[in-house]
Structure 1
Amino acid sequence: MAADTIFALATPPGRSGVAVMRLSGTQAGAIVDATITGRRPPPRYAALRQIQNGDGTLIDEGLVLWFAGPHSFTGEDSAEFQIHGGPAVIEALAARLSELGARLAEPGEFTRRAFEHGKLDLTEAEGLADLIDAETSAQREQALAQMSGSLRALYEDWRQRLIDVLAAIEGEIDFPDEEGVPEQLARTAGPILAALADDLAGHLDDDRRGERIRDGFSIAIIGPPNAGKSSLLNALARRDAAIVTEIPGTTRDIVEVRMDLGGFAVTLADTAGLRETEDVVEREGVKRALTRADSADFVIGLLDGGARWNQEMTPVLEKSDIIVFGKADLPAALTLPDSRAPDLSVSARTGEGMGGLERRLSAIVAERLSKRELPALSRIRHRRSVEAARDALVRAQQQLFDPELAGEDVRLAVRALEQLTGRIDVEHVLDAIFSRFCIGK
């Protein structure tokens, strides 16, 4: 456990009405006593105090809160100074805390100390980080559920069931000369292992719902040059994110817009017009457009409703989830092969059909990311550990003829689940997780 005392600004840097400076560590109480006039406030009560330099000059007057460990966020003695948010005030208080022996916290160090003192596990810490970064209601709800322990409870239940199975397997190992051990294990441990493997497989089979909620649902707009892709992107984003001109091939690279669609984070991508070209740069843009279409969660194929059918439109039909005719304010002329009709017609210029397209996209995103009974996997780290546990359980079922081999695979599954919650210290994993927090958290 870290013995030094740390401090950091918990509110955004810059000028504000109020700023909050946090302090945590073994010397927190002594530092508070040396910094304020009057007595230290009772635990969890706010008190107005003058905050002073070592020579008695006033730094500021503000609220001071005291949290005696272990009844604090970090589990250590902690304090908060709620001061006026001017840069000079903040800098003077930081200098005073440094003078008294505290040091500036590293990113995520407060939360890491909370983890090290058993105040929360790794999945809850990650939920806290996601809550701070949440841009949409869906991200907020998922982060709150994870921060409150939904994933921890699920993984701990699986871990305990595996430990019970492991106890049964090791009990059979103690009697190696007994007849019928493999058959006995197949009857006792086999069904439990199979049920657990099914539970883990079901948890994994979620179409990466949690990761899409956290990272954003990807929608790509593809189509031939001058179909109106950039205009459609700007209309959906309600700002001029992409350049719009009458010159074919204006868009060469991917233009992305992050937006909230029905409460879900969505990344909308405008792409280069699909056509054969001798221009090296444009050809690379077409290549990237096709790659983005292949990797996107959903593809809008946009065609100029006033154009004539040509073979360059074929990739749009092949790769798109819906076909949209643009420029609906102009006379229609386009007829698709095989009597296929467009899903929607819109005009980015007049707004015609845009409400219907937004509702259609919102419904699609909501359906793809709708809630399931189990809490969602929200990170690649979680998915890989659950995959490792599932694979170990599948092997264990196949190894029941040899209790020692089966037991080792069950232990590997337990270890994978313990890495998820942080029961096993993997230093590089901890460093990677907490380094992504802001300094005051």
Structure 2
Amino acid sequence: MNDDIIVAVATSRLEAAISIIRLSGKDVIAFVQQFFTGKIINKESHTITYGYIKDNGEKIDEVLVNIYRGKRTFTGEEMVEINCHGGVYITNKVVDLCLHHGARLAERGEFSKRAFLNGRIDLSQAEAISDIITAKNSYASSLALKGIQGSISHFIKDLKEDLIQIITQIEVNIDYPEYEDVEELTADKLLPMSTSLIEKMNKIIEDSKNIKLLKEGIQTAIIGKPNVGKSSLLNAMLKEEKAIVTNIAGTTRDVVEGSVTVDGILLNMIDTAGIRETDNIVESLGVEKSKEMIKKADLVLLVIDGSKELDQEDQKLLELTEDTNRIIIINKADLGKKVDLEGIEISAKEQDILALTKEIKKKFNLGLISNQEEYYLTNARQTQLLEKAASSLQIAIDAMKMSIPSDLIVEDLYDSWSCLKEILGEQAKEDLLDELFKRFCIGK
């Protein structure tokens, strides 16, 4: 573990009221005292001191300096934060002074990496720090905050404990078969314990897939025949005129994209070309793209012109999207309803889409995140590792069902346990850590 002094600007490098320069490393308080006029050598931890930053006797800036001592700091080592006046020149001047005295620029995520290596946080909490910075909606920030607080750590540790109980009982019987008071485990005994555990794992995996959609955004395709109001709907949801709207069928020839947050949900909206039979080569290419987007979308918004009766093209679209996660939208409610079909009635032209936003929230069960009893992982790395853990456990369960001796099953159980440990970074490889923390911003 490096204990050299690192420095980085923890705030945005723009003109602002204040700028925070963060330092961490061995004897960093004494290091800063070299060019700070306030007395901090004997100050208690978590105190703020007023003074000036000086360079060869010249005052550079009037600042407040926060000091943090001991192993209960964020990084697990001494830390200092210099609060100087915001501004590119002053901030760079103070950083340059720190470098001149022997500090080095921190790498991306190096403060968080030191916190992890010093045991202040586990890997899931470190990832949550990055997640809260990049959160695009309230659900993503709520997930990240729970991760920082250790929600992932708690339930993964519980899974580990359940698994080690099974492993321990097998190992005791392998190592001490002569002990009469040690119960000999059979498949009948192991199977219920293992089955209960894998059910927990599979539920977390399934819930985590839904959470991923809310965190990264729901790929939403707007589908319909020409001139039913797809582009008007996109514009109403984006609250801008991004798609061209005319009364001429086939106006949208290509995919138009945009993102919108609806009551905290991030929707990655895709307005597709109207789907119909056409001899126009350009329009037909757009139609093929539309059909491709239906397959890729997490949510399909099928738009029907409610002011007209259903025709053959509408019926084809209903059949085409039947097996998708769709919401049927009866548009042009302001013109009266003639279509005999159940769906969400709106007027995209009048931007009356409240009923649609309510249906989207209902469809994706947004009460999941607020439920403290639910468990979920927040990124692909964690989910893949839990899937591997469940896969190894399933192999062990299958072996139990075939009455294979328990001493031959234990290796698969150990593989499962190792995957759970890796989620928390308890046996993470150095190259993996380097790659993970490079995704962080400077100063974090």
Deviation, 1:71, is 2.3
- Where does residue 343 of structure 1 map in the other structure? 343
- Where does residue 355 of structure 1 map in the other structure? 354
5+ residue gaps in structure 2? Answer: none
Partners of 1:62 and 1:75 in 2: CA distance: 25
8 Å Cα contact 1:212/1:369 also seen in 2: no
Partners of 2:59 and 2:331 in 1: CA distance: 66
Deviating more after overlay: 8-17 vs 244-253: 244-253
- Where does residue 32 of structure 2 map in the other structure? 32
Partners of 1:165 and 1:27 in 2: CA distance: 46
8 Å Cα contact 1:172/1:403 also seen in 2: no
Partners of 2:19 and 2:245 in 1: CA distance: 43
Q: Deviations over 1:143-197 (max 9, x none)?
A: 1111111111111111122222212212222257999x99733244333222212
State the secondary structure of the residue aligned to 1:16.
coil
Deviation, 1:311, is 3.0
- Where does residue 48 of structure 1 map in the other structure? 50
State the secondary structure of the residue aligned to 1:206.
helix
Identity %: 35
Read off the aligned partner of 1:327 and give its amino acid letter. Answer: K
Quick check: 1:425 aligned with 2:424?
Answer: no
CA 1:350/1:187 → structure 2, altered by over 3 Å: closer, same or farther?
closer
Partners of 1:147 and 1:196 in 2: CA distance: 25
Partners of 1:167 and 1:70 in 2: CA distance: 34
CA 1:43/1:229 → structure 2, altered by over 3 Å: closer, same or farther?
same
Partners of 1:139 and 1:265 in 2: CA distance: 9
- Where does residue 217 of structure 1 map in the other structure? 218
Partners of 1:363 and 1:196 in 2: CA distance: 30
- Where does residue 383 of structure 1 map in the other structure? 383
Deviation, 1:216, is 1.8
What does residue range 254-265 of structure 1 map to in structure 2 within 5 Å?
254-265=255-266
Deviation, 1:406, is 0.9
8 Å Cα contact 1:264/1:365 also seen in 2: no
What does residue range 1-12 of structure 1 map to in structure 2 within 5 Å?
1-12=1-12
State the secondary structure of the residue aligned to 1:7.
strand
8 Å Cα contact 1:169/1:185 also seen in 2: no
Quick check: 1:414 aligned with 2:413?
Answer: no
State the secondary structure of the residue aligned to 2:412.
helix
CA 1:357/1:64 → structure 2, altered by over 3 Å: closer, same or farther?
same
8 Å Cα contact 2:66/2:80 also seen in 1: yes
8 Å Cα contact 2:75/2:112 also seen in 1: yes
- Where does residue 290 of structure 1 map in the other structure? 291
8 Å Cα contact 1:213/1:369 also seen in 2: no
CA 1:398/1:313 → structure 2, altered by over 3 Å: closer, same or farther?
closer
8 Å Cα contact 2:345/2:355 also seen in 1: no
8 Å Cα contact 1:210/1:379 also seen in 2: no
Partners of 1:195 and 1:77 in 2: CA distance: 45
Deviating more after overlay: 296-305 vs 114-123: 296-305
CA 1:223/1:92 → structure 2, altered by over 3 Å: closer, same or farther?
same
Deviation, 1:17, is 0.6
Partners of 1:162 and 1:377 in 2: CA distance: 19
- Where does residue 95 of structure 2 map in the other structure? 94
Deviation, 1:97, is 1.1
Deviating more after overlay: 303-312 vs 148-157: 303-312
What does residue range 129-140 of structure 1 map to in structure 2 within 5 Å?
129-140=130-141
Deviation, 1:251, is 2.9
- Where does residue 322 of structure 1 map in the other structure? 327
Deviating more after overlay: 70-79 vs 374-383: 374-383
Q: Deviations over 1:194-215 (max 9, x none)?
A: 2212211222232712212211
State the secondary structure of the residue aligned to 2:30.
helix
What does residue range 39-438 of structure 1 map to in structure 2 within 5 Å?
39-40=39-40, 41-53=43-55, 55-174=56-175, 184-206=185-207, 208-306=209-307, 309-318=310-319, 319=321, 321-330=326-335, 335=339, 340-351=340-351, 353-367=352-366, 369=368, 371-372=370-371, 373-400=373-400, 401-438=404-441
Partners of 2:29 and 2:167 in 1: CA distance: 47
8 Å Cα contact 1:159/1:414 also seen in 2: yes
Read off the aligned partner of 1:92 and give its amino acid letter. Answer: K
8 Å Cα contact 2:169/2:185 also seen in 1: no
CA 1:376/1:313 → structure 2, altered by over 3 Å: closer, same or farther?
same
Partners of 1:128 and 1:88 in 2: CA distance: 29
Deviation, 1:382, is 1.6
State the secondary structure of the residue aligned to 2:333.
coil
Partners of 2:167 and 2:120 in 1: CA distance: 28
Partners of 2:285 and 2:38 in 1: CA distance: 69
8 Å Cα contact 1:419/1:426 also seen in 2: no
Question: C-alpha root-mean-square deviation of aligned residues, in Å?
Answer: 2.6
